[in-house]
Chain A
């Protein structure tokens, strides 16, 4: 089911074994491509997301409702619309885009300060590792200041969204680090 009703269904406080994953990051980071990889869909024709995409995927006995939110600058202020009931935050970084590493670092820092995302485990996908200019995941972790995070568990996963390398490994970490439901 799609449509507005589906949005409401996905908005429900999640029953057991159903998780809400929020996929954020700058525009062109590869969020929609990762989403499509997770859903085993064709990743050849991905266009900039002007709003959001929702897909449900089954993984390790969990139903993951993944919300992929557009990352263009003008719509970033609306990211907060989607914070409610988030179980895992996934942040995607284009490791070859050196010029915007500072920008993405600032956006992430702001997310981590938000009250609604307090304590939510963080997975960072260090994407586009297939490109020659890509920084390795460890360097990206340092630039993002991940080692300074004290209030939540986090993980950084190198990946290539276009061919799926590393995407599955990230999801396995997600399923192992699911917060205990109240």
Chain B
């Protein structure tokens, strides 16, 4: 085995070792989820050096240098960090927008709309690159195959999902079989599978290349409105349903692996953390729960919100979880130890429908029905900035991977980019 290169992975912090073994080039990911501005780089380097045979004495200096860069990156953002200004208003959709997302580099973004299209935008110029047409009804869910971002998946109220080539804008395959609106669609981490969740109570697994249905996951007794593949292997899938339960599925078998019972109201969102050891769920019953993804035991129930919990999101390192609610607040909890509340963010005048962490974890972004999005300091809970200007409620929001851009989509038919 011979080390060839050390790659940096910023979010969540880690390094990737590229090495050759018997002439074959391989990669190994090492998570450094605890890395923060107070970390002792020498000590981490020593620890890695002891643990990793690939990291020999010769590369120690290089390793330290890499770790310093990573550390700087996590410091880069903070309470005194970046301010966002309206950069572009994208307004060619003739009807309200639904969901939005960035590609990994952050130079392109997607918007879904009631006008039955998904549009690809150039973030820099604000120009529309492609309009993906073909769906017969609302395009609800949009997404790239992360991290490659060479494909796009859309889920539509026309009961299908489609996979597109972002370069040509052509539809490569249509995922058929649902008898209800497709409201969740995602690629697996390796991009080989696509999963869909539908109002017909089913989730389905498809071959992303051919569009062939592999499994039809039956078990939920109401609409499947949220789903996610585990970010690592991409073999596990979680689904959240209006029946109040969360199901775990395996891409290799058709039967349900397990059911997470305990919520007393509809599930609004469900997420894995980075290493897929935890599952977080938000419910209209006013609580959020954290579950052990292996044993499926409920580890904690957080019930400090006074109204429906509408969204849940882990930070990129999987150490904190944020929730947002109809009670106009967002909250952050520690998931490493005792699940205590770390910060509470109050200021929105109406319900907070979406929440997400900045990739480095220093900021929280919230979208609200009060027509504003806000950026908050995750340590103090103070509002750093109000992103105002939309004429209608904001349905969705996202950070770019580099954390240098924000996208918001509104019922006012426009999409805004903030930098």
Taking a contact as CB atoms closer than 8 A, the residue among B95, B157, B354 that contacts A75 in the complex is: B95
Contact A51 B95, CB 8 Å, known A4-B353, A78-B116, A81-B116: yes
Contact B310 A74 (CB under 8 A): no
* B 144-180 to A, binary, CB cutoff 8 A, 1 in contact else 0: 0000000000000100000000000000000000000
A residues in contact with B411, CB < 8 Å: 51
Q: Is the CB of B223 within 8 A of A12?
A: yes
> Closest residue to B325 on the A side, CB-wise?
A1
List of A residues within 8 angstroms of B412 by Cβ: 50
Which residues does chain A contribute within 8 Å of B408, judged by CB atoms? none
Given contacts A8-B199, A50-B412, A78 and B223 within 8 Å (CB-CB): no
Question: Chain B residue with minimal CB distance to A53?
Answer: B411
Partner of A12, one of B114, B140, B199, B369: B199
Q: How far is the CB of A50 from chain B (nearest CB, A)?
A: 6
User: A5 is contacted by which of B181, B199, B222, B310 (Cβ under 8 Å)?
Assistant: B310
Assess whether B123 is interfacial by the CB under 8 Å rule.
no
CA distance A8 to B350 in the complex (A): 19
Kindly state whether residue B393 has any CB partner on chain A within 8 Å.
yes
Q: In the bound complex, do residue A80 and residue B137 qualify as a contact, i.e. CB atoms below 8 Å apart?
A: yes
A4/B199 in contact, CB under 8 A: no
Complex-state Cα separation, A2 to B371, whole angstroms: 12
Within the complex, the shortest CB–CB distance from A169 to chain B, in Å, comes to 31
Q: Given the known A-B contacts A8-B199, A9-B242, A74-B94, are A2 and B351 also in contact in the complex, defined by CB atoms under 8 Å? A: yes
Q: Are the C-beta atoms of B353 and A5 separated by less than 8 Å?
A: yes
| Contact A52 B96, beta carbon cutoff 8 Å | yes
Q: Is A139 an interface residue (CB 8 A)?
A: no
Contact of A1 among B98, B157, B183, B308 (CB under 8 A): B308
Chain B contacts with A in 175-224, Cβ cutoff 8 A: 181, 183, 199, 222-223
Interface centre among A5, A52, A70 (most CB of B within 10 A): A5
Chain A, 1-40, contact with B by CB distance < 8 Å: what is the 0/1 string?
Answer: 1111100110111000000000000000000000000000
- B98 proximity list for chain A (CB < 8 A): 4
Cross-chain contact A1 with B351 (CB below 8 angstroms):
yes
A11 touches B393 (CB 8 A): no
In the complex, the answer to whether B351 meets A3 with C-beta atoms within 8 Å is yes
B326 and A8 contacting across the interface, CB-CB below 8 Å: no
Q: Give bound CA distance, A1 to B307, whole Å.
A: 10
Note all chain B residues with C-beta closer than 8 A to A75: 94-95, 115
Query: Could you say which of A51, A52, A81 has the most chain B C-beta atoms within 10 Å of its C-beta?
Result: A51
Q: Check A97 for interface membership: any CB of B closer than 8 A.
A: no
Q: Is A163 an interface residue (CB 8 A)?
A: no
Q: Chain B's interface: helix, strand, loop or mixed, by majority? A: loop
Q: Are B225 and A2 in contact (CB under 8 A)?
A: no
| Minimum Cβ distance to chain A for residue B408 (Å) | 13
Q: Closest CB of chain B to A46's CB: distance in Å?
A: 15
Q: Which of B363-397 contact A (CB under 8 A)?
A: 369, 392-393, 395-396
Give the docked Cα–Cα distance between A3 and B225 (Å).
Answer: 14
Count how many chain A residues have C-beta atoms less than 8 Å from C-beta atoms of the other chain. Answer: 20
Task: Report the bound CA distance from A1 to B328 in whole Å.
Answer: 11
Please tell me if B138 contacts chain A, counting CB pairs below 8 Å.
Answer: yes
Instruction: Tell me if A103 counts as interface (CB < 8 A to partner B).
Output: no
Contact A2 B157 (CB under 8 A): no
Q: Closest chain A residue to B412 by CB distance? A: A50
Bound CA–CA A84/B182 (angstroms): 13
CB distance from A175 to the nearest CB of B (A): 26
The complex places the Cα of A9 from the Cα of B265 at a distance, in Å, of 12
CB atoms of B95 and A78 under 8 A apart: yes
Q: A51-B411, A51-B413, A52-B96 are in contact. Are A3 and B116 (CB under 8 A)?
A: no
The reply to whether the CB of B266 lies closer than 8 angstroms to some CB of chain A is yes
In the assembled complex, the Cα of A12 lies from the Cα of B393 at a distance in Å of: 22
Docked-complex contact A11 and B353, CB < 8 angstroms: no
Establish whether residues B114 and A8, one from each chain, have CB atoms under 8 Å apart when the complex forms: no
Assess whether B268 is interfacial by the CB under 8 Å rule: yes
Interface pair B353/A2, CB less than 8 Å apart: yes
Q: Give Cα A8 to B266, complex, Å.
A: 11
* B225 and A8 contacting across the interface, CB-CB below 8 Å: yes
- B287 close to chain A: CB less than 8 A: no
Interface residues of B (CB under 8 A from A): 94-96, 98-99, 114-116, 137-138, 140, 157, 181, 183, 199, 222-223, 225, 242, 266, 268, 284, 308, 310, 326, 350-351, 353-354, 369, 392-393, 395-396, 411-413
In addition to A2-B393, A51-B392, 8 A-B residue pairs with Cβ atoms within 8 Å of each other are: A1-B310, A3-B310, A4-B396, A8-B183, A11-B181, A12-B242, A50-B94, A84-B157
Using CB atoms and an 8 Å cutoff, list the residues of chain A in contact with chain B: 1-5, 8-9, 11-13, 50-52, 70, 74-75, 78, 80-81, 84
The 6 nearest A-B residue pairs measured at CB:
A3-B353, A51-B96, A2-B369, A4-B395, A51-B95, A81-B137
